[in-house]
A and B are shown apart, each in its own frame.
Chain A
Amino acid sequence: MHNFDYHAPKLLDTALTMISDREDAKIIAGGMTLLPTLKQRLAAPSDLIDLAGIADLRGVKKDGNEIVIGAMTCHNDVATSDIVKANIPALAKLASIIGDPAVRHRGTIGGSLANSDPAADYPGAVIGLNGTIVTNKRSIKADDYFLGLFETALERDEIITSVRFPIPERAAYQKFRHPASGYAVVGVMVSKTGADVRVGVTGAGPCAFRMSEMEAALAKSFTADAIKDLKGNADDLLSDIHSTNEYRAHLVGVLARRAVAEA
């Protein structure tokens, strides 16, 4: 790892000034992706600006019909939150199967979403639950947030402060978990609120996306049978040593049916 200057601001405004003033600075949240990346010298920022000391960025609350999760809330705190478990148990379950227990004590929801690893879990939740990413500048709807492989709508001087999830009537997350890394080979979050059905897929493509055809079929009949003939479009999906794109397309169908059955 190349060396860098480390900063631990106590206020968001201080962090924003630091990132504006330092061209090659990077924000560090839980560091569960960034530190391994630095060790491999795939990145060599001049400065690391740690958000861990900014108390306002942590915590879970209910605001009307939404659950609001601070960007620096770690996965274990989401998984064990009474508020999350009572209102969106599918989200608590998702958080409880990220990485391993020690990783869940460090990794954060904001870090996961800012990084937008194609195999991360939270992007599937934000898409599948119609979440909103709140930054120091604006609110970004899930559908406008994920742009491509490790690419999001976030600007350089923009920091995620919280993530808002409307409370669904029904929701479930199903994941084909890579046995060694815990990452999603494919993960599917399904939710239903009134007539609105969403199917969010992670792990399968360059970034999380919706399955519109499945959503239309499920809006007519919210049953696994309604989507029995549907699967992902292999041409749009990733192939790697863990899985071919055809297999990922198949898993999208299998996991979506399991999620509907569980929801």
Chain B
Amino acid sequence: MTSKVTLTVNGKERSADVEARTLLAELLRDQLGLTGTHVGCDTTQCGCCVVHVDGKAVKSCTMLAVQASGKQVTTIEGLAAADGTLHPMQEAFREHHGLQCGFCTPGMVMMGIDIANRMPGADEKTVREQLEGNLCRCTGYQGIVEAILSVVNPGAVKDHHHA
């Protein structure tokens, strides 16, 4: 049995028929074609599937699609401007080489924006703590932390790439 769920994704109202057990990540990827949201572990640990629901970072592999009914969802696809101009956090990841294989990157960028929203001015230690639910298997954390710090607390960046 399916039911219709209607939600706003990246500013546009979207509807889909889903089973109650359909995960938000599955709705986004398989039914709405938004494959920028990655599913790494499917066990609430790796953070590759982080999206924003009503402006807050959540793991979309551990939320039902029906639980997002009526909510505002933002995915990695919703960040850049229509003309392709990157969101400042995306630009920071590019500038600071905040990615290697790129698999964790959508979740890292979405969590980076969440950190910037919740704790502007955060220091490096705080940024690292706040990333504990986002795993990078390349262990490329140095660039990721620099990228996020450059947005939340530019004075705290010790940039190894451009020194």
Contact A36 B62 (CB under 8 A): yes
* Stretch with Cβ within 8 A of B (4 or more), from A101-109, A131-139, A164-172, A210-218: A101-109
Q: Do A50 and B21 form a contact, CB below 8 Å, given A101-B133, A102-B58?
A: no
Q: Which of B43-51, B136-144, B151-159 lines the interface with chain A? A: B43-51
Q: Which of A6, A31, A76 has the most CB of B within 10 A?
A: A6
Taking a contact as CB atoms closer than 8 A, the residue among B57, B64, B132 that contacts A105 in the complex is B57
Contacts of B42 in A (CB 8 A): 39
Q: Is B80 close to A, CB under 8 A?
A: no
Judge whether A31 and B62 touch: CB under 8 Å.
yes
**Is A100 a contact partner of B47 (Cβ separation < 8 A)?**
yes
Q: Is the CB of B130 within 8 A of A101?
A: yes
Interface residues of A in 1-41 (CB under 8 A from B): 1-6, 8, 31-32, 35-36, 38-39
Q: Could you say which residues of chain A place their CB within 8 Å of the CB of B58?
A: 102, 105-106
Contact of A4 with B20 at beta-carbon distance under 8 Å, contacts A32-B62, A102-B59 already known: yes
Give the complex CA separation of A141 and B53 in angstroms: 35
- Interface check A52, CB cutoff 8 A: yes
On whether the beta carbons of B114 and A4 are closer than 8 Å, the reply is: no
Judging by beta carbons under 8 Å apart, are B43 and A4 in contact?
Answer: no
Does A182 count as interface, using CB distance less than 8 angstroms? yes
Q: Interface of chain A, helix or strand or loop or mixed? A: loop
B31 interface residue (CB < 8 Å to A): no
Beyond contacts A48-B20, A52-B67, A100-B133: 17 other A-B pairs, Cβ-Cβ < 8 A, are A2-B21, A3-B20, A4-B21, A8-B69, A31-B64, A31-B67, A35-B63, A36-B62, A48-B64, A99-B133, A100-B132, A101-B114, A102-B50, A102-B114, A102-B133, A103-B133, A105-B58
Q: What are 19 A-B pairs at a CB distance below 8 A?
A: A5-B20, A6-B3, A31-B62, A31-B67, A32-B44, A38-B21, A39-B42, A39-B43, A48-B20, A48-B64, A99-B133, A100-B47, A100-B132, A101-B57, A101-B115, A102-B111, A103-B44, A103-B133, A106-B63
